[in-house]
Amino acid sequence: MDIVARAKGLITRPREEWQAIAGEPSDTASLFKGYVIPLSAIPAVAGFIGFAVFAAALPGLSVGGLLVQSVVSYILGLAGVWVFGKIVQALAPRFGGTGEEVPAMKLAAYSPTAMWLAGIFALVPPLAILTVLGLYSLYILYRGVPVVARVPEDKALVFTLALIACAILVNLVVVFIASSLLF
């Protein structure tokens, strides 16, 4: 799997890319090593660089503190992807889908692609508002639900909405943990 081609496929033609993903043999470790770890580093690295450049203009902001915050947020983000995969695995059977680990982790690993790519805008903090383009990840998730988790089409939207609610909760927990560790 070429990481650039995979990301491009998910952005430009998610339905077809999910078909390819569903047919590929994989495991959780290879999904993380080959895709999640490098791609999820984009917003962490871009945010660190962007804020480090502007740190001189902001009183009380140190580069060391930014580095620690970036590393902790990155690690907690990886944990969040894994937890999200476990949530997909637990909920999919309730919506008529598969409760298998690998399809759930595929959905969790690949669906945030647009969000991670949009993280590049954090290089220039005034452009960080453009990270809203990462919301396209919700559509990518929706497209992957029936293909990878094998949730019937008529239940795909409701399942996706349930997953989005769970993802919001996971992200709130991650932010809470990160802020309690760092401040």
- Domain ranges across the chain: 3-182
Contact 96, 158 (CB under 8 A): no
Task: Report residue 131 as tokens.
Answer: 């990270």
Helix axes 63-91, 37-54, angle to 10 degrees: 150
Radius of gyration of the chain (CA): 17
pLDDT in tens, the chain (183 residues): 699 999 999 999 999 999 999 999 999 999 999 999 999 999 999 988 888 887 666 666 777 778 888 898 899 889 999 999 999 999 999 999 998 999 999 999 999 999 999 999 988 888 888 988 999 999 999 999 999 999 999 999 999 999 999 999 988 888 888 777 665
- DSSP letter string, 41-98: HHHHHHHHHHHHHHGGGSTT--HHHHHHHHHHHHHHHHHHHHHHHHHHHHHGGGGTS-
Task: Report residue 161 as tokens.
Answer: 């909405």
